[in-house]
Structure 1
């Protein structure tokens, strides 16, 4: 009897599927809900002479490659430890296990992490693929010094990581059909650095023909950070998501000097350095996606404002309290915002206009100095620039704008905080993905309901270009004159409905201050 049951179970278990790619065959896994193909090489290893060169198309292989384990992350530092490596240009594919007669939309996810950390396999897309009937691709791309080094005379300077993302999109166009996907219906989506990359790619001439829709989460091209509003540190200069090529080259030359490289011999010297040496200057290359380059001829913010971007449907938004986790993280690192340094932060950020901002955001209006500065950051550096970017895009293409506003969103960075973090930066991610392969513990039933609705919006947009979700309100198009931003929050907090982003984040004040 036992032998018969065992034999029957073996017959019922789905066989690991073998897929024929343009470069060779791969064998993934099937758990009955989704099929996963992990660790697929999409470009040749960027090592040796290929370090700091644009990616080279993957070489064909013989036999059947194992695609059941994730590939190595790109070199980064995690909790003080170096992880990953240079041979990291892998991607994962997640597809519904049930067969479909029609080609499914493909969604390509770009992870965040300040261009310094993250990797595709962190983001398990099984809920999205199963519920939304989509194929989700999660590629790795080079980070830090390995992805964004710029030097005079070095082709590809400042955009190697962006070139990796483009190579992954080319791979998707060539291979989507092998997984049952539609190569003519590709949605690029990303969060934070991945959102910045997504927006930048909309402005790149090289993206034409590779994507059909885009979702930008907490990363529009028009983000800008006055001194101290990215992190409350006085000596951090103003930041934008995309510095000039000259500024990026200056960073590269300074890093080379720091590692003892002679003038005029920087590239040769750096190519000879082991990974362990280069990691020492990795932090210099966060948010260093260079413009004035072949891939980004214009600063992406300027391209957005002047209409020089790909006219595809876009979902764009962020979280309501983006700045809280950055302020709490700085406090944990020993750099708290206090009543004593609050005026100094104001002066460093806003100069002669600091008094006006202090009157608009007085300490007496907040439960703590940290929350006051986090609110300034959320409004000035995140929400209002996002609104500006949405307006620029909506003047020329279809835009659906949102704000993730769950005040009880999970503390994704596990940060101690003197004030509620609210819907902080990246707190929307557990609603879309199982981070590190596990559903987030502690979400309430109404939060899981919101997660289903968000996945519904995102994936229906991938199918048709119009976001819809069962049992959820209609999502109106965003227009510069009518606004129409959708607030995403659980039923106990009012549920999904209109958001007054302009009013709640005092965008009129900030616009007037900018003149």
Structure 2
């Protein structure tokens, strides 16, 4: 991989993580205590403003010692009342330049529950299980404050940690013995958490028979896996996927969507060599002897760890191919992207390389990222001339890569999903969304950037400017749509603008923007010039 591409991959994957936008909360919510009985024992959380919050509940045994690189095992029982007022440690990860702190914790398989105080086994509410983003390298569940989502939507929300990077996706052949598969442990962790939800949701007033998984970025990408993975069948009733099309075009080298096992093994072998464990005869023992810090240093953020398919029982086949073949779970799906996805990654590239791409390099950079020949690159330059963007290469590249990498693959994914079962498609389109807290905005409009919609659903995921009155109204409507979908499989409800089910061949999606007429159908295919891209 070329050094510039490798650097851009690191910065881009880092920007996929929302956990890096603020530091995890160290303080528990104020208020009276709340108690629930899980299968392993009693937990005591906190209660405030109509919701109860339980944090740091173990859903599996700590994957340490002999359990490192092993399928998650059941959590142990405890005696007495377990304090659930603080989150568990984030899974092992390197720090990033945005502010996501490093963690060397392997004991990290914890989840958090936010639930309406009135919910009970007799009056259960729908359950929504959040799979955080982070390019499978960074992130944690605890920074996504779900109080408003649970309170306004009358749902139980579960956020969770899962093993990341070298801890969760190191597909080294020497670690595959005894029926174990170290290459997809992060996916197995999520499956273990979903099984925990089935067994324990009722203790918190949740309906174990009405579970929606929802995720953003890598969390949406892995949802494609859950739609097709054998071990995920029967663990959920609905899926919401935000900014992670199953057919995503990733321009920065190692892909963070599911990759062939051979690619994942090549990455693992490179990490092992850098860790001093190149000898196949001793690689397994050698890797197990390394500390978390040594393993993260050997990886050095150079690789796109993530799920891999083929040659393993967790993900036997390519999820995108299974979806195209109609072999995905026939459950309702809500799927969408943001209007200006790639702005976030373009900003990251400029931070890494020290500034905007020079105008004279616009064409060569496009050709390199898109893998086009000279003739094809000329066609793209004619379709997206730099003059249309006031000479801003950042704005031009953001537009081109939004259309090619995100929006047109999203239109393709929409169609595949619609041919499989009930599908509702959207585009978050608030082009005035507050920019990332702690990161300087670029000299071009940031628009409805990647991850820009999360501050409308959760608190704490951003430390930027507060939402305006109109944006708060949009936030309310998005929560109403999301939770209506979780309740019935249809986002429509009285008092909201109509949202039609997507039919095969239809390219219209529901635009979500503030103000009068901000929520309306738009033609995603036309808006992002997918006819042009299909012609290439």
TM surpasses 0.5: yes
CA change 1:289–1:184 in 2 (3 A) is same
1:450 and 2:474 matched: yes
SS of residue in 2 equivalent to 1:29: strand
- Let me know the Cα RMSD of the aligned residues: 1.8
Gapped runs of 5+ residues in structure 2?
1-29
Separation (CA, whole Å) in 1 of partners of 2:486 and 2:86: 27
Alignment-derived partner of residue 269 in structure 1 = 286
CA change 1:246–1:350 in 2 (3 A) is closer
**Offset, 1:261:** 1.1
**Offset, 1:57:** 1.2
Separation (CA, whole Å) in 1 of partners of 2:257 and 2:470: 35
1:237 and 2:253 matched: yes
Contact 2:218/2:256 (8 A) holds in 1: no
Alignment-derived partner of residue 426 in structure 1 = 451
Alignment-derived partner of residue 266 in structure 2 = 250
Contact 1:430/1:439 (8 A) holds in 2: no
Alignment-derived partner of residue 233 in structure 1 = none
1:77 and 2:94 matched: yes
**Offset, 1:487:** 0.1
Separation (CA, whole Å) in 1 of partners of 2:110 and 2:256: 29
Tell me the TM-score normalised to structure 2 length.
0.88
Alignment-derived partner of residue 60 in structure 1 = 77
Residues 439-473 of structure 1 show CA distances to partners (whole Å, capped at 9, x for unaligned) of 86421100000000000000011111110356421
Farther-moved stretch of structure 1 (340-349 vs 452-461): 340-349
1:148 and 2:172 matched: no
SS of residue in 1 equivalent to 2:253: coil
1:306 and 2:325 matched: yes
Alignment-derived partner of residue 3 in structure 1 = none
Residues 251-284 of structure 1 show CA distances to partners (whole Å, capped at 9, x for unaligned) of 0011110111131122211111111111111524
Separation (CA, whole Å) in 1 of partners of 2:149 and 2:389: 38
Alignment-derived partner of residue 129 in structure 2 = 108
CA change 1:51–1:240 in 2 (3 A) is closer
CA change 1:134–1:93 in 2 (3 A) is same
Q: Which gives a bigger RCO, structure 1 or 2 (Cα 8 Å, sep 6+)?
A: 2
Contact 2:127/2:211 (8 A) holds in 1: yes
**Offset, 1:347:** 2.3
Separation (CA, whole Å) in 1 of partners of 2:68 and 2:135: 21
The within-5 A match list for 1:217-228 is 217-225=242-250
SS of residue in 2 equivalent to 1:108: strand
Separation (CA, whole Å) in 1 of partners of 2:31 and 2:216: 34
**Offset, 1:315:** 0.2
Separation (CA, whole Å) in 2 of partners of 1:69 and 1:161: 23
**Offset, 1:84:** 5.0
Contact 2:255/2:304 (8 A) holds in 1: no
Farther-moved stretch of structure 1 (267-276 vs 79-88): 79-88
Please point out which of 336, 357, 360 is paired with 1:340: 360
Farther-moved stretch of structure 1 (79-88 vs 371-380): 79-88
**Offset, 1:210:** 0.3
1:496 and 2:528 matched: no
Separation (CA, whole Å) in 2 of partners of 1:86 and 1:357: 46
Separation (CA, whole Å) in 2 of partners of 1:282 and 1:132: 41
Runs of 4+ aligned structure 1 residues displaced above 6 Å come to none
Farther-moved stretch of structure 1 (413-422 vs 427-436): 413-422
Tell me the TM-score normalised to structure 1 length.
0.92
Please point out which of 435, 438, 449 is paired with 2:460: 435
Alignment-derived partner of residue 504 in structure 2 = 480
Separation (CA, whole Å) in 1 of partners of 2:138 and 2:309: 21
Separation (CA, whole Å) in 2 of partners of 1:88 and 1:240: 22
The within-5 A match list for 1:309-388 is 309-335=328-354, 336-348=356-368, 349-352=370-373, 353-367=376-390, 368-388=392-412
Contact 1:34/1:126 (8 A) holds in 2: yes
1:43 and 2:67 matched: no
**Offset, 1:18:** 1.8
Separation (CA, whole Å) in 1 of partners of 2:303 and 2:78: 34
CA change 1:503–1:383 in 2 (3 A) is same
**Offset, 1:143:** 0.8
Alignment-derived partner of residue 409 in structure 1 = 433
Alignment-derived partner of residue 278 in structure 1 = 295
CA change 1:308–1:252 in 2 (3 A) is same
Separation (CA, whole Å) in 2 of partners of 1:307 and 1:131: 35
Residues 48-94 of structure 1 show CA distances to partners (whole Å, capped at 9, x for unaligned) of 11111111111111111111111111111223652251110000000
CA change 1:440–1:464 in 2 (3 A) is farther
Gapped runs of 5+ residues in structure 1?
1-12, 230-235
Separation (CA, whole Å) in 2 of partners of 1:99 and 1:345: 54
Separation (CA, whole Å) in 1 of partners of 2:455 and 2:493: 18
Separation (CA, whole Å) in 1 of partners of 2:393 and 2:401: 12
Aligned length, in residue pairs: 490
SS of residue in 1 equivalent to 2:535: helix
Please point out which of 313, 319, 324 is paired with 1:294: 313
Contact 2:128/2:155 (8 A) holds in 1: yes
CA change 1:84–1:129 in 2 (3 A) is farther
